[in-house]
Copies of this chain bind each other. A is one copy, B any other.
């Protein structure tokens, strides 16, 4: 019953991300420029390139053309990713501060959503985000804007 066998290798999201990062370093483009080339926002574009969002077929094709990716990469970019993110609070200071903010202000955000909308949540699925630089005399500021659909709980 013993026979020799070979396990097929499929192109993975990690492979596609490595191709994109390598092409980006070679080209010298920024994420903003890549996003503009495919007509999407920088936040969503970076996230989808990192494998945290699926791409519509036409956007996957645009990205493949801009970054010089092989044909199979578009299939991979269109698949539903399994989103694995840091369950432990990350140690990188830039990311840690975000957790500190939602840790400190989480109950506040919840209380104000309930006050303004009723018993429910802000969706993280029907959601978008923008990041911008705001000039300020005492030092420029980072601005993050999030927007998500309100979803009310069901009673039955």
Binary interface profile of A, 87-121, with partner B (CB < 8 Å = 1, else 0)? 11111111111111111111111111111111111
Q: How many chain copies does the complex carry?
A: 10
The residue in A96, A97, A119 that gathers the most chain B C-beta atoms within 10 A of its C-beta is: A97
Q: Is A66 an interface residue (CB 8 A)?
A: no
Interface residues on A, range: 35 or more
Nearest neighbor of A48 in chain B, beta-carbon distance = B155
**A contact patch SS:** mixed
Interface of A toward B, CB cutoff 8 Å: 1-3, 5, 7-11, 15, 18-19, 21-22, 25-26, 30-32, 40-44, 46-48, 50, 52-56, 59, 70-72, 75, 80, 82-129, 131-134, 136, 138-156
